[in-house]
């Protein structure tokens, strides 16, 4: 009953806001280079990887050029880590060991729920420029590890990955009107992690990414 009541309140609030303010939706598919940061020498970042982020975004305008942005998507991130000490991973109940000097590629997939602010200029010709910033609460749905020596071969390491991850993002771009209310979106976005993505107590490992934001606004 409590969940139903909270859901009803949220829906009523959104419908009420929709009745008073303009709402626009977009879909996007963003290629991104992702990599890790670490605060310890025994686990060292060792290069970036190319992944994709896809999703939907709703812009709810509370003023002519200012909007709250809410989104939902699938965000695939990760990178390479060099392990200087022996490190254990749990894979489907089994224990896997990364040996000193081993480089392991991590692929982490999340449900992404970005929330933030979007600031837009007036339309100049057919173009509107925007600046965006906010937070990225994420829930891990898949995690795998691969090494060049095939000791790790797309091993499921979700049990060694924290379920929740929080980061922030800033970005800028342009919306180019194609006709009516439809626009093409292009931009660049930087995101950085605030919380540890692994359950390993030896280091605090966070995620970073630079993405090319590509989408269609309706």
What lies within 8 Å, CB to CB, of 181 at 6+ separation is: 24, 217, 218
pLDDT in tens, 61-117: 999 999 999 999 999 999 999 999 888 898 888 899 999 999 999 999 999 999 999
Angle at 170 between CA 186 and CA 175, to 5 degrees: 25
**6 — pLDDT class (breaks 50, 70, 90):** low
pLDDT at residue 196 is higher than 90: yes
Residue of higher predicted confidence among 11 and 206:
206
pLDDT at residue 20 is higher than 60: no
Lowest mean pLDDT among 10-24, 29-43, 75-89: 10-24
pLDDT at 82: 94
Domain boundaries, the chain: 23-217
pLDDT at residue 19 is higher than 60: no
Topology (CATH level 3) of domain 23-217: Porin (2.40.160)
pLDDT in tens, 140-186: 999 999 998 888 999 999 999 999 999 999 999 999 999 988 999 99
């Amino acid at each position: 009953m409590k969940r139903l009541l909270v859901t009803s309140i949220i829906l009523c609030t959104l419908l009420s806001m929709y009745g008073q303010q303009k709402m626009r939706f977009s879909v996007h598919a963003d290629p991104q280079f992702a990599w890790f940061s670490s605060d310890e020498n025994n686990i060292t970042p060792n290069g970036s990887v190319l992944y994709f982020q896809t999703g939907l975004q709703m812009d709810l305008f509370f003023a002519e050029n200012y909007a709250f942005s809410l989104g939902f998507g699938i965000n695939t991130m990760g990178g390479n880590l060099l392990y200087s000490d022996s490190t254990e991973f749990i894979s489907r109940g089994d224990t896997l060991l990364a040996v000193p000097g081993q480089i392991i590629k991590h692929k982490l997939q999340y449900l992404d729920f970005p929330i933030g602010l979007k600031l837009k200029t007036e339309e100049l010709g057919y173009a509107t420029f925007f600046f965006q910033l906010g937070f990225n609460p994420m829930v891990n749905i898949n995690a795998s590890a691969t090494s060049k020596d095939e000791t790790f071969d797309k091993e499921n390491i979700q049990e060694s990955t924290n379920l929740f991850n929080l980061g922030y993002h800033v970005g800028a771009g342009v919306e180019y009107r194609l006709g009516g209310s439809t626009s093409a979106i292009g931009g660049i976005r930087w995101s950085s992690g605030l919380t540890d993505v692994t359950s390993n107590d030896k280091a605090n490992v966070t995620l970073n990414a630079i993405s090319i934001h590509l989408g269609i606004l309706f």
